[in-house]
Structure 1
Amino acid sequence: MTKTKKPEGIETIAMPSKPQQILDMLRRKGGTTVNELSTFANWLPHSTRAYLTGLKKKGHVIDSDKVDGVRRYRISSSPEA
C-alpha cells in the first residue's frame, strides 16, 4: 500500500462544527429564528427548540423577543463569559 502525499501549497481549512455555527447564529446582533436554525441544521422545529433548552441547561442565557410576529432568539450570556 502506498501513501498519497498532499500536494504542497494546499491547506485543509477546518469548518466550524454545527453546534459552533448555531452558537454563532445566536450571537448575531439580531439573533435568529427557529425557522432559520431548523433550516440550517435540517431539524424539525420541536427538535430545534429542544436544542435551545439544552443550551440553557449548559449555562447559556438565551433571550427571546417577538419582532413583527416572529420570535427571535439570541444568546445574552455564555458559560465561558
Structure 2
Amino acid sequence: MTLTFQDVINADLSPLLDVSETWRKMGDRFGELKDDYTTHVPRALDNGNWQGEAFGAHQGSSRATSFEYSAARRKRMPSPGS
C-alpha cells in the first residue's frame, strides 16, 4: 500500500502522545529505582560480613547498576509541551 499525503495529514497521532507519556513515567520510575537501590542495597551489605572476591565484584557491578539507573532516568523524553 502506498502512503499518500492525505494518509499523513489524516493520521491519528494520539497514540504517540500516550506512548510518550508512558516513556516519561518510565524515566521517572528509573529515578525512583536508583534512589531505592543506592539507599537500601549498600546498607544491607555494609555490615562487614560480606568480604572477599564476591564483595569486590559486587562493588563494581553496583557502581555500574547505579550509573545505568541514572542514565536511564536522564534519557527520558520531555513531556509534551515542555
TM-score scaled by length of structure 1: 0.24
Question: With CA pairs under 8 Å and 6+ residues apart, which has the higher RCO, 1 or 2?
Answer: 2
User: Which one has a bigger Cα radius of gyration?
Assistant: 2
Q: Which has the higher helix share?
A: 2
Q: Which has the higher strand share?
A: 1
